[in-house]
Amino acid sequence: MTTKHFVLVILILVFGLASGCSRFPGKPSEADKWIASSEVLNFDQIYGQNCAGCHGAAGRFGAARSLNDALFLNLIAPGDLGQVIREGVPSTSMPAFAQKFGGQLTDAQIDLLVEQMKSRWGNPEGFNPVSLPPYRQRDAIGDSRRGSSVYNSYCSECHGTDGRGGKTAGSIVDPDFLKLVSDQSLRTTVIVGRRYVADVDCRATTNGQPMSAQEVSDIVAWLAAQRPTPLASDRPQTINPPSAEIKKTLAR
């Protein structure tokens, strides 16, 4: 063997061993590497750790609304969906997730949730987008007196007289229920129902006519008027006393 060959053999041995080292048992593979939670960009992981507890694994059968619902995802625009996740829903148990609002998720993670929820759950094969009243109440301000008669034509058949429960559906004017849900949540239910809860479209058509945007707002106003006390988010903010007042109180 020439010196040149000898050096070559040594080199092969050294490199061979070095590359073999990376396969020592116990050495973590790429996939096992620890990743800071703010770096995670995997839908299943982000959804599973932050949302599944309330909205159900895979967006179904949770206590809160099923998000795996094409009709709902057809109703809510990406901008509104992102806003609900970022800011949460004040005075309900829906938390704010954006770091700016005290949450743990980055903007990139929230964008990923919005985009993936829409593409995975928003458009299953064969789903025909339908036209619905707007997600948020815009111009059509509700009137609770009109809402009472709209209720009688569209809802009393299932929810009974005055909403106190009927043969096929429970009360929707129970104070404990109304204290926990926002007007938006009531509105969403009236427009798309609650998938996997009863799989009814509470918009239930009367004589084949779906409710108009105005009728949806009126019914929500009628329901909201039956809350024992307005939700904290609806009450006027308490104003801190001026600093002079505080100094006087302290001096006493």
Nearer to ligand HEC, 115 or 157 (CB): 157
Residue among 6 and 161 whose Cβ is closer to ligand HEC: 161
Site string for ligand HEC, 106-145 (x = CB under 6 A): -------x--------------------------------
Is residue 37 close enough to count as binding ligand HEC by CB under 6 A? no
Does 71 bind ligand HEC (CB under 6 A)? Our answer is: no
Rule CB under 6 A: say whether 184 interacts with ligand HEC.
yes
According to CB under 6 A, which one of 45, 93, 149, 229 is a site residue for ligand HEC?
A: 93
Of these, 186, 191, 221, 224, which contacts ligand HEC (CB under 6 A)?
186
Number of residues that bind ligand HEC (CB under 6 A): 43
Selected binder of ligand HEC within 57, 77, 140, 204 (CB under 6 A): 204
Q: At what angle do helices 213-224 and 183-192 cross, to 10 degrees?
A: 140
Q: Which amino acid is at 179?
A: K
Segment interacting with ligand HEC, rule: CB under 6 A, options 32-40, 78-86, 122-130, 234-242: 78-86
